[in-house]
Amino acid sequence: MEQINIKVAFCLQCGGYHSSAPADFSQVNDPEVTDHFFYHGEPWFTLNKETFEKALLLEDTVVKTLNLSNHKINDKKYCKCTRSPKPVNKIQVYSFPVSDEILMNKNQVSDSELYFTEVYRLCYNFH
């Protein structure tokens, strides 16, 4: 018999769990996983990877990987806390106006560039 592990999203406030899913989604069709899904229902156990990942974005959530048989011992400890999504760390970007001096210096042609362009033209004139 194959060992089935599940990922469980626990609440740090009450210690209960608010979502769980198979650790390996190739085991979704396993009879024990299907039985556990029908026993608990969608918010507590999901077969959809995206739904579980949305549950991870809530505040005060920690994910642990457990054996399914060990999880069945305390699988009635649900989390009923109201949580909001984790705040997103925003990176502030400041843009400064570019002065005209920098643009003029960038567009100016140096003396060495003029020399090499003249050498290039002369080279092709004599060949």
The amino acid at residue 113 is E
Identify whether the C-beta of residue 24 lies closer than 8 Å to the C-beta of residue 5.
Answer: yes
- What are the extents of the domains in the chain? 5-74
User: What pLDDT score does 87 carry?
Assistant: 66
13-72 pLDDT per residue, tens: 887 777 888 888 777 777 787 777 777 666 677 777 887 788 777 777 888 888 877 777
| 101 pLDDT above the threshold of 60 | no
45-60 pLDDT per residue, tens: 777 788 778 877 777 7
Residue of 64 and 96 predicted with greater confidence: 64
Burial class (CB in 10 A: 0-12, 13-18, 19+), 113: exposed
User: Whole-model pTM?
Assistant: 0.56
User: What pLDDT score does 78 carry?
Assistant: 74
